[in-house]
Structure 1
Amino acid sequence: MTNSPFTPGIVPARLDGRVLQENFADLHAPLDAHEALVAADRCYFCHDAPCITACPTTIDIPLFIRQIATGTPEAAAKTIFDQNILGGMCARVCPTETLCEQACVREAAEGKPVEIGRLQRYATDRVMAAGVHPFSRAPQTGKRVAVVGAGPAGLACAHRLAMKGHEIDLFDARPKGGGLNEYGIASYKATDGFAGAELDWLMQIGGITLHTGRALGRDLSLDGLCADYDAVFLGMGLGGVNALRAAGEDRSGVLDAVDFIADLRQADDLARLPVGRNVVVIGGGMTAIDAAVQSKLLGAENVTVLYRRDRAAMPASRYEQDLAASKGVRFVFNAMPIAILGNGAVTGVTVEYTRAEGKSLIGTGETFDIPADQILKAIGQTLATTPEELNITGGKIAVTGPGRTSRKGVWAGGDCAAGGEDLTVTAVAEGRDAAEDMHDRLMG
């Protein structure tokens, strides 16, 4: 962390180790065999299955649930992995409440959908725990592909290409692969080193060589990759962080929420991780919610999420908002920061109320202060580097169809590419679809 544990107000060990262990335990306990059968029995196995349409990776959900119901969870896992090789992580982190489960007929009829996410986890965990990899490689094609970014999009792309017989060099800027799954989600959603275990399991396909500590723009150039490889996929996410544009943003105690979460995810001992007594999180997406909840679980007394628009406009789902509220997080809507208070270290934030005028947002002139010794910025990210000769739209790489960029032989997907929602499951779908298109092009 950029802040020392001795920064006033930001200290470690606000809670003892036993409490921390309980706080960061698995958010949803896995189903046992009996519970899975009971949950699967609630599925109507709809022939027109709206849940499939709602899934960005179009998993055949009724089929895999029927396979669980008939006592063949291994077959269910294969059905899932056929469409989503990161089905284990997506079962944990997907906002199923706004995707497949929201579309479930049971949700419409009874207000209680089939527990699709937990059933998916049950099936995929069974296969992964057995160390079984359900896919094998096709004969080698002699083609070499560079995949930049070992997050969900890059991993899905690399696996699909390796399965089709291509050789993959997978590059990532961080010391570990996994991307968002390893560094960017709340610890209570993926416990016991699951992200790393899933990465190791995925690599069993063979044909993929992971190179860590290699960043585009610093260690790699797009021109060099295009010269050395038959095709290139860019899935490196968004490494830059937007500025707050508020006076005093450089004060001690102001951190990027993504760095806070990454530090937490990589901490060997949560009792050594410093957190403020009064924490303010600025932003309205999943990163903001994850940072706020985890601050509270680390022992912060007061945690406030500050969002400039109203609740309905908040990108984080209502389920995640309610989860945060249940942990004691306070929400302040229609308010934006205009100044960070303090003399060196943060003591608070001055906030101005906002109102919408058409598509614009303006300050009302009415202000108030919120005490804070730690401020976490979760206001969006940008490309850390702009690759050569690529069209950019809205701060992201412009793509058409299945991830084709403006440069021949280069595809992109995941958060760094313009288009779909910034979700793990969407990134997997984009990586997978780009790989299929790349394979078609490579094989003529």
Structure 2
Amino acid sequence: MATPLTPGITAGRLPAEEIAENFDDLHAPLDAHEAAVAADRCYFCHDAPCVTACPTSIDIPLFIRQISTGTPEAAAKTIFDQNILGGMCARVCPTEDLCEEVCVREVAEGKPVEIGRLQRYATDTLMAKQSHPYARVESTGKTVAVVGAGPAGLACAHRLAMLGHDVTMFEGKKKAGGLNEFGIAAYKSTDDFAAREVDWLMQIGGITLETGQMLGDGLELDLLSTDFDAVFLGVGLGGVNALRSEGEDKDGVDDAVSFIAELRQSSDLTSLPVGRNVVVIGGGMTAVDAAVQSKLLGADNVTIAYRRGRDRMGASRYEQDLAASKGVRLMFNTMPVAVHGNGSAVEIELEYTAEVDGKLQGTGEKVRMPADQVFKAIGQTLTTDAGLDLEGGKIAVDAHGRTSRKKVWAGGDCASGGDDLTVTAVAEGRDAAMDIHAALTGTT
């Protein structure tokens, strides 16, 4: 992250009160009456398409019916049975592209049942009671190492602990949570919810958390495979792709993931430096989160530059519209050529692109714009393959999460086949845990 001494990048661009308002909860939670009204719109479909669209297969009509009958705690249990991180997923899941997109109300009227907000209402209600709805069964005596305490690792660890296995969870950072804690916009998860959710999840018991332990940096797969009966890898993608553009090494050019992580861990957002003219390179959720938060911190001009067309952006149309509503400029079919400046970024040079025979190429037409801060949000990579087979740059896994090595499973962003969503990571961690349980108990 650039320091406040970098020209053009400074802290305190806005008063504390304005920043606090900017970073308030993106969607206010429903109260009991609002939840009842929202639940009443559900048709409680048989073979509901929303269930099929949910990566964790939550019985959505059932939990909404439970809300409508005044039993939100029962609704939360229905959610948590399938998705133990249902509280966070209610906040960050792109429901507009999943369950709500296929809602019968959306298809017929253009306004779906507010499934995400109803899920949050239910899960928040139960979690506020400070009671964990699950208990461990009798110990199996089996031990499992879970590497990475992000969504996949947490879901895997919880399910294994619930089934009676003793879990040691290793996390490279100083606290658990993964992208839920370090990698999403602050306005999506307020009031330290990610950390509170981890604490709540750990109430199941049987899980020991060891922080500061990173795979390939003092934590070796060979030793883990020897010391534990099974290993699950949920290490995410810690590396950041390079721009491969001239001037990438200049001050003011940073990766968006680090910026978001620093922002999420800051206790005083007025002390967080941001540029006056910010350009974010990329088209996914991370790019949008970095751009919007830069604007909310007080940057004058914020631009997202994406190399392909709008329809190819990884960020949902809702996220794109959110960015635009906050004053972020969206540029399509542009790619970085160079960052200009004498030691520090001052301008960025972009080249317009076109697809020819399915391949992206520059048109030769270029544009320069002021940029004292440039964020890279063009994808992440594994920091170590741990000697495992890879597929598409990720750890190769089968349908059960099994890797090329005996006793080792993987899931979440680090594993092949996923779509880099929190809810998908939860599903993969949960399902791998069930396969691990079957393998350890001899039921496969």
TM range (shorter): over 0.9
Counterpart-to-counterpart distance in 2, 1:47 and 1:291: 40
Structure 2 counterpart SS, 1:343:
coil
- Report the equivalent of 1:198: 197
- Report the equivalent of 2:31: 32
Matches for 1:256-335 after TM superposition, within 5 Å: 256-335=255-334
Counterpart-to-counterpart distance in 2, 1:172 and 1:153: 12
- Report the equivalent of 1:104: 103
User: What's the TM-score once normalised by structure 2's chain length?
Assistant: 0.99
Counterpart-to-counterpart distance in 2, 1:386 and 1:400: 16
CA offset at residue 358 of structure 1? 2.5
Partner amino acid for 2:158?
Answer: H
- Is 1:434–2:441 an aligned residue pair? no
Counterpart-to-counterpart distance in 2, 1:125 and 1:4: 38
Counterpart-to-counterpart distance in 2, 1:154 and 1:442: 18
Counterpart-to-counterpart distance in 2, 1:384 and 1:400: 21
Counterpart-to-counterpart distance in 2, 1:55 and 1:46: 15
- Is 1:251–2:250 an aligned residue pair? yes
CA offset at residue 205 of structure 1? 0.1
- Report the equivalent of 2:349: 350
Counterpart among 395, 398, 413 of residue 397 in structure 1: 395
Counterpart-to-counterpart distance in 2, 1:217 and 1:399: 19
Counterpart-to-counterpart distance in 1, 2:153 and 2:357: 38
List per-residue Cα deviations over 1:194-220 (Å, max 9, x = no partner).
000000000000000000010000020
- Report the equivalent of 1:374: 373
- Report the equivalent of 1:160: 159
CA offset at residue 359 of structure 1? 2.5
Structure 2 counterpart SS, 1:126:
helix
- Report the equivalent of 1:421: 419
Counterpart-to-counterpart distance in 2, 1:359 and 1:443: 49
- Report the equivalent of 1:74: 73
Counterpart-to-counterpart distance in 1, 2:152 and 2:160: 12
- Report the equivalent of 2:121: 122
Counterpart-to-counterpart distance in 1, 2:196 and 2:386: 31
Structure 1 counterpart SS, 2:101:
helix
Counterpart-to-counterpart distance in 2, 1:357 and 1:104: 37
Counterpart-to-counterpart distance in 2, 1:226 and 1:420: 25
Structure 1 counterpart SS, 2:435:
helix
Q: Percent identity?
A: 72
Counterpart-to-counterpart distance in 2, 1:122 and 1:216: 37
Counterpart-to-counterpart distance in 1, 2:425 and 2:116: 17
Counterpart-to-counterpart distance in 2, 1:245 and 1:401: 35
Structure 2 counterpart SS, 1:350:
strand
Partner amino acid for 1:362?
Answer: Q
Matches for 1:47-58 after TM superposition, within 5 Å: 47-58=46-57
Counterpart-to-counterpart distance in 1, 2:138 and 2:104: 43
Counterpart-to-counterpart distance in 1, 2:127 and 2:74: 13
Q: How many residues align?
A: 442
- Report the equivalent of 2:236: 237
Partner amino acid for 1:382?
Answer: T
Counterpart-to-counterpart distance in 2, 1:74 and 1:359: 51
- Report the equivalent of 2:214: 215
Counterpart-to-counterpart distance in 1, 2:416 and 2:353: 28
Counterpart-to-counterpart distance in 1, 2:385 and 2:406: 17
User: What's the TM-score once normalised by structure 1's chain length?
Assistant: 0.99
CA offset at residue 420 of structure 1? 1.7
Partner amino acid for 1:146?
Answer: A
Partner amino acid for 1:228?
Answer: D
Matches for 1:172-191 after TM superposition, within 5 Å: 172-191=171-190
Partner amino acid for 2:418?
Answer: G
Q: Which runs of 4+ in 1 moved over 2 A?
A: none
Counterpart-to-counterpart distance in 2, 1:386 and 1:370: 39
List per-residue Cα deviations over 1:240-269 (Å, max 9, x = no partner).
111110001000000000000000000000
Counterpart-to-counterpart distance in 1, 2:367 and 2:29: 44
CA offset at residue 360 of structure 1? 1.1
Counterpart-to-counterpart distance in 1, 2:93 and 2:358: 29
Counterpart-to-counterpart distance in 2, 1:4 and 1:186: 21
Counterpart-to-counterpart distance in 2, 1:398 and 1:418: 5
Residue ranges of structure 1 left out of the alignment (5+ in a row): none
CA offset at residue 402 of structure 1? 1.5
Partner amino acid for 2:270?
Answer: A
- Report the equivalent of 1:408: 406
Counterpart-to-counterpart distance in 2, 1:234 and 1:348: 41
Counterpart-to-counterpart distance in 2, 1:321 and 1:53: 25
